[in-house]
Structure 1
């Protein structure tokens, strides 16, 4: 016997369909155990799989749990956008028109509709400041670049553990061929400006080998942390576009805007797969 749960696979941040980062969303996730969620996330083998649940906070519209193949995350950006898209498409009605409030392990995350895009407000950093020199040297070794190529390094951690390094040019970012064994459990974001005339202002790459994701396709949480660093240090304007996924054959476009002290991270969301997932009935509490 199986339980049929509504399911969607949503492409997030793509400049057009199939060029972003997919997230698997189980819409009817009530009753699933932690182990079932983790096992299903390993089975999808996507960077993240999410599970929509009833909120426990009265201010929230829904609660979200986020799993990578290697474990659970308190927050992640592209799963937040993709899950909000799936929730709305499945008939979810926000308490406040035009505003969706997600509850997750990192707290409440506000989202808004921006035309044909969704955007989330970047959560506060749990760790910030300059990265110590020994860690920067380790990062440079793992990226296979001279230490002198790193112009600056900063903790931009809003939950997943990100640290970021700034290089001189987008070409240098795209040329990276990291040593993931050396990188180990570090979650490394790399950013550099594009030359004038490119449709994006910055090129971004995110490496998380410790979570079973050598390189993430397009990363909302990283871009949220980067926005706080780059805009806060006057390295970026109040509004810009970041490209990510280029090195992997994708065309991610992350739209960043700083308004009234909040950092909004937006992008296109498109449901590519809709249907049901068959879970073993005994894996879903209260169903048979």
Structure 2
């Protein structure tokens, strides 16, 4: 056991302490999986990350991402939060303004534009959801069947059920039931489009309902979910890029995510990250 540099950051923050918190251990060398998982369980945050030397010659650093329950191959807010913490601690990218992060999902590119950090989202797998399961999930959310426009499984390293609802009022009216959703094994990513006029930038309202050791929780701002929703909705021609996603409204947060298409054709998910806690941990 030794002291290791540590930061806690606020990701996709519309205002400080109003985004999604992330714990980052900046030196994860010589820690095994069990030790990392134990610490992630103790922080009790949605994700905790550990930074390591890269194994790929193209990467600037490597990250391992843990929830209190398990390791993830990829997640959005841990990607941007880890990158911010690495840069703030003196990390220098091989290419200025462009960081390459190695994860279990592969190489993830992160670009820096002033205070905005954006990651290139991996292409998700989009699959249909059986109508019977859709009905069960709507019941678990206390939503009528006519509230739903469309539904897809979205998997980009984190697996969500994406649900497009008719209006923001229906979205806010949803009342998730922990036991039912846990029994179905569903993380529900609900969304609805705010009314907008021609020439205005669209705003997508999002709610992410996740599974936790205590049951379920509502996520303040979720990069992987929003990346998957953007890929689905733009592919179907329902929404055009760029647009802004708002998340966490119902739980007193102001998560803000910027979804855009780069000149390279890739989908980029961006947001502001702010450092909140800096010090060391004994691990």
Q: TM-score range by the shorter chain?
A: over 0.9
Aligned residue in 2 for 1:189: 189
How many residues matched? 277
8 Å CA contact 1:51–1:65 kept in 2: the answer is yes
Which whole-Å deviations, capped at 9, do the CAs of 1:212-252 have from their partners, x for residues lacking one? 55221110000000110111112112100000011110000
Aligned residue in 2 for 1:275: 279
Is 1:257–2:257 an aligned residue pair?
no
CA distance in 1, matches of 2:249, 2:201: 13
Aligned residue in 1 for 2:55: 56
Is 1:231–2:234 an aligned residue pair?
yes
Aligned residue in 1 for 2:251: 248
Is 1:35–2:34 an aligned residue pair?
yes
8 Å CA contact 2:201–2:243 kept in 1: the answer is no
Which whole-Å deviations, capped at 9, do the CAs of 1:163-210 have from their partners, x for residues lacking one? 200001122212211012111121210000113389971110111225
1:144 positional shift: 1.1
TM-score norm. by structure 1 comes to 0.92
CA distance in 1, matches of 2:280, 2:87: 17
1:160-239 mapped onto 2 (5 Å cutoff): 160-184=158-182, 185-196=185-196, 201-209=203-211, 213-239=216-242
Which whole-Å deviations, capped at 9, do the CAs of 1:64-107 have from their partners, x for residues lacking one? 11111111111100010000000111111111111111111111
Which whole-Å deviations, capped at 9, do the CAs of 1:18-50 have from their partners, x for residues lacking one? 110010000011011111111111111000000
CA distance in 1, matches of 2:213, 2:53: 27
Higher deviation after alignment, 9-18 or 188-197:
188-197
CA distance in 2, matches of 1:36, 1:12: 25
Unaligned runs of 5+ in 2: none
Is 1:16–2:20 an aligned residue pair?
no
* 1:84 counterpart SS class: helix
1:162 positional shift: 1.2
Task: Summarize the Cα distance change of 1:41–1:200 in structure 2 as closer, same or farther, 3 Å threshold.
Answer: farther
Higher deviation after alignment, 203-212 or 71-80:
203-212
